[in-house]
Amino acid sequence: MNQWLKRSVHLLFISRARASIQQINSYPRKLSTGYNKGVIPMRNTALTSTYVNGFDSNGTLTAQSLSKAHRKPFRGVACGVLVAIGIALLLPYEAGSTNLQDISMTPKQYAYYSLGDVKQYKCIAALYGKESAWNPKAVNGSHAGIPQGRSKWLLTATPIQQVEWGLRYIKHRYSTPCKAYDHWKAKGWH
């Protein structure tokens, strides 16, 4: 698991814990006996120190009461854990790799992942759909690959490398895929 994902999961745990602590501290607790009879605010320092200082040596939460007063905050923490696990499962394992040969995504998935913007992805998808139909072996005269660039290197590059090359070219020349697509619609080339 890459460092960014570990850090994100850790920050998610901390933020969920702080929200749970605030929720715990806002609930009044009734004391039915003793000289402090009445309603007082409840404090839970075990939960605070466990989350702020991290997990204990076994990787589990300790010193937590399972009384009814604590069930609701635990549900909130459990929801946070499930969200973190869901995010971790949805992210591709190879997403942290800097070697384009190691990435096992389709060219379209890689373009979407690289751009991170649906609007820009739609423009690049339309542009490359018209230019090469996303075929990495497409050749049109001296132009080759998915981006139909004028480079002999594109004939031997992987589909992911071709998309990366095309995105760099578009960024350098047009700044965004939508501007490149607008140019293609006006002139028939980009």
Reply yes or no on whether the pLDDT at 127 is more than 80.
Answer: yes
Coil/strand/helix, residue 127: helix
Domain residues for the domain of 118 are 107-187
Q: Which H/E stretch holds residue 3? A: helix 3-26
Instruction: Answer yes or no: do 146 and 75 share one domain.
Output: no
Other Cβ atoms within 10 Å of 68 Cβ, number: 7
Tens of pLDDT, residues 58-101:
555 555 555 555 566 667 777 777 777 877 777 665 555 566 56
Classify residue 183: in a domain, yes or no.
yes
Closest CA to 120 of 171, 157, 83: 171
Classify residue 100: in a domain, yes or no.
no
Instruction: Answer yes or no: do 113 and 181 share one domain.
Output: yes
Whether the model clears a pTM of 0.75, i.e. scores above it, the answer is no
